[in-house]
Every structure is written in structure tokens, then in C-alpha cells.
Amino acid sequence: MEIIAFGVQSDEKPLIEKAFAGHHDIRCLDVFLNEDTAPIAAGHEIISTSVNADLNNRVLQTLAAGGTQMIAQRSTGFNNIDLEVAERLGITVARVSYYSPYSVAEFAWSLAMAINRRIVRASTRTRDFDFRLDGLMGRDMHGRTVGVLGTGKIGEAFTRIAHGFGMNLLGWDVAENPACLELGMDYVEKERLFAEADLISLHVPLLPATQNLIDASALKNMKNDAILVNSSRGGLIDSQALVDELRKGRFTGVGLDVYEAEAGLFFLDKSLEIVVDDTLARLVTFPNVLVTSHQAYYTEDAVGQIIDTTLQNVLDYKAGRRSDNVLVPSAPKS
């Protein structure tokens, strides 16, 4: 049986093919699953998708009509999938509920330090043999305060690095993490965290309750010289409100590995096209904003774990087993 994997990056392809060898034939496509590409899946019982796939009602209807019965998503997030429609159509949906938290935590710190120490600007200068230090002054992280919104596995890994820097630790979450408490984290209301933190990093899932968690009010409550990093989900930040505050000259810097309207942009080459998203176009013009293309998870370790789990999800489906990765179990079609 052949499986189609949509949205496969060139670095991922050999890893996927190697993992699936001896189990199932797999065809890797670099196109993302959406309304235009869904017909490609016709005749395939199982497909695999990336986080930037658009699995809306129409796409799921097309997949079901073509015989697809199982979707194995290669990500933790699943806000791109209409689970109610999938359940109604009898399509099993599984995700990767866990992979290396260090990949994202370390990248979030890479963004924070690149902003703090003006590394991108410095690199650009030295390529032109401009070795001045004007405008490159940063700050010690030691002794300053970090605010971590979301202290699950990734938030904990981020906090451990902050502890290594010798920072004061503030946290906000629906439940306190004992490991973070042992490190000396003080759990506070998010309003206090916004007001006191020199560095704020987001590690919460995108849910209705967290949509625009960083809104205009939260941004206004932050220090003028704060650093804000988002390596979780773009919808956690009201991007237009962020632009409004940046235009006032606020914040030492902002690091964004995700963007709320990234679908159809991230993972693609748009360098020869006109980008019509005015908010994103404005964000990338600020000298204190660093935007990357949803790559925090993109390490050999994390991607390898994602692929292995995806394969196991497929094997479990074929064997009739159900794991914690299953979002929509097998069910007869109505």
C-alpha cells in the first residue's frame, strides 16, 4: 500500500523514506495539502500531512470521496484540521504528541540572544567589512527576569536554560510544573509577568482561550525595552497590535518563528512574488524584529522523532490499535 506524504521538505525526504522502508511504500510531495492539491490523494487510504496543510471541510470531503481513511499529521499542533468533520466522515486522525522539547527551547533562546546581541545586524555589517560597534550594544541576561508563558515540556526546557543564565524566573500556566518550581520559578498572574519580565517567551498551545493571548493590552503592559519571543503558534499574538507598538519605538526586539497568517507563505519561496500581507511586510521592516519560517522544531533529533512517531501511528492504525496520539478514532462513516 502506498502512502502519500504532503508538504515534505528536501531535508526530510530521505529520513521519511528510510523510516518507512520495509513497512509501506511512501511518496513524498513538496506541495502542501489544500483544496487544489487534495485530489492527488485519490485512491490512497492513508496520507500524511504537515502543520501547514489546510484540512478544512472541503478538503476533508474530497479526501473521503477519494477513499482516504487515515490522516497522519507530522506535528503536535492540529488547529489546521476540522476534527468534527473528520469524525463525521469516519477519517482517523493522529498527530505527534511529543518530540524533542530541546529543539524549540534552544531555538527560542537563539532568537532571544540574536536580538539581544544584534547578531544579524553585526553579521550584515562585517560582510561589508564594516567593523564598527555602534548600535550593537546588548545586555547581560544574568540577573534579569524571564517570563515563561506555558511551562510544559518545552517551557521547562526553556526555563532550565534561563536558570543556567542566572535569571529570575516568572511563569504562567494553568498548572504549575514541579520541575520549574524546583528551579525557583515564581508562578504569577500574566499581567504581573508582562509588567516585570525583561524577556517573555511563549510556549502555550493555540486554543480558543489562548487566541491573541498577547493582545494590545498585554503589549502595552510590557516594559519598553522587553524582548518578546514566539516559537509556539502565530495566533498567540495580535500581529497588528504588535506592529502598532513597534511603530512607537517600543521593545528591544521581537523574535517570531511563527505568524498567525503563515499558511500559504511559510515553507515556500515567495522571493519573486508580491507579498500582499501588509502586516507581515511591515513586521520584517523593523530593525529590531527577527522573523524566521517556523523552523524551531527543525533538528535531526526532533524531525527523526516526528517521523518515527508518524510511522508508528500508521502501524497502529493498520493493526487496529489506538494510542494517545489519536485525535479522531476509527468510526464507521455515516
The answer to whether 12 is a known catalytic residue is no
Selected catalytic residue, list 44, 203, 250, 294: 294
The answer to whether 294 is a known catalytic residue is yes
Helix/strand/coil (H/E/C) assignment for every residue in the chain: CEEEECCCCCCCHHHHHHHHCCCCEEEECCCCCCCCCHHHHCCCCEEEECCCCCECHHHHHHHHHCCCCEEEECCCCCCCECHHHHHHHCCEEECCCCCCHHHHHHHHHHHHHHHHCCHHHHHHHHHCCCCCCCCCCCCCCCCCEEEEECCCHHHHHHHHHHHHHCCEEEEECCCCCHHHHHCCCEECCHHHHHHHCCEEEECCCCCCCCCCCECHHHHHHCCCCCEEEECCCHHHECHHHHHHHHCCCCCCEEEECCCCCCCCCCCCCCCCCCCCCHHHHHHCCCCCEEECCCCCCCCHHHHHHHHHHHHHHHHHHHHCCCCCCEEECCCCCC
Selected catalytic residue, list 196, 245, 260, 262: 262
Residue 229 CA to its chain's centroid (Å): 12
* C-beta of residue 26 within 8 angstroms of C-beta of residue 5: yes
Selected catalytic residue, list 233, 245, 250, 260: 233
What are φ and ψ of residue 148, in 5° steps? -115, 115
What are φ and ψ of residue 64, in 5° steps? -65, -40
Which one, of 319, 311, 300, 324, lies nearest residue 103 by Cα?
Answer: 300
H-helix or E-strand spanning residue 126: helix 119-127
The answer to whether 24 is a known catalytic residue is no
* C-beta of residue 226 within 8 angstroms of C-beta of residue 252: yes
Fill in the DSSP letter of residue 57: H
**Which positions are annotated as active-site residues?**
233, 262, 294
